[in-house]
Amino acid sequence: MIDLLQVSQLPPFLVERLEKEFTLHDFVDPADPDKLLDEIGPRIRGILAGGMKGPNANLINCLENLEIISSFSVGYDATDVAAAQARDVIVTHTPEVLTGDVADLAMTFILMAPRRIGEAERYLRSGKWLGGRMDLGTTVRGKRLGILGLGRIGKAVARRAEVFGLHIAYHDIKPMGDLLYRSYPSLLDLANASDILLVACEGGEANRGLVDGKALAALGPEGFLVNAARGPIIDQPALISALRDGGIAGAAMDVFDGEPEVPAELMAMENVVLTPHIASSTHETRRAMADLVYDNIRAHFDGKPVLTPVPPQI
Ligand code: 8YV
Q: Give me the phi and psi of 173, to 5 degrees please.
A: -75, -20
Residue 174: what pLDDT?
84
Domains 2-96+284-301 and 99-274 share a fold: yes
The set of residues, in sequence order, having a beta carbon less than 8 Å from that of 110 and lying 6+ positions away, is 140, 145, 157, 161, 164, 166, 196, 198, 224, 226, 252
72 Cβ inside 6 Å of ligand 1: yes
| Ligand 1 nearest-atom number relative to CA 52 | 13
Residue 121 appears among annotated catalytic residues: no
Q: Residue 302: what pLDDT?
A: 98
Percent of the chain that is helix, strand, coil (3-state, to 5)? 40, 20, 45
Supply the angle between the helices 283-301 and 99-115 in degrees, to the nearest 10. Answer: 150
Ligand 1 neighbour 160 (Cβ under 6 A): no
- Residue 246's pLDDT is 98
Q: Report pLDDT for 268.
A: 97
For 123-160, how does the pLDDT look when each residue is reduced to its tens digit (9 = 90+)? 999 999 999 999 999 999 999 999 999 999 999 999 99
The yes-or-no answer on residue 230 being catalytic is: yes
Report the pLDDT value the prediction gives residue 176, as an integer from 0 to 100.
83
Active site annotation includes 87: no
Among 53, 69, 72, 207, name the best residue to mutate to test ligand 1's pocket (greatest count of ligand atoms within 8 A of Cβ).
72
Question: Which residues of the chain carry a pLDDT beneath 70?
Answer: none
**In testing the pocket of ligand 1, which one of 6, 8, 14, 52 has its CB within 8 Å of the most ligand atoms?**
52
Class of 99-274 in CATH: alpha beta
Quote the pLDDT of residue 281: 98
Q: How far is the CA of 157 from the centre of ligand 1 (A)?
A: 17
Extents of the domains making up the chain: 2-96+284-301, 99-274
Fold of 2-96+284-301: Rossmann fold (3.40.50)
Cα 237 to Cα 6, 78, 233, 242, distances in angstroms: 33, 22, 12, 9
CA distance 238 to 99: 29
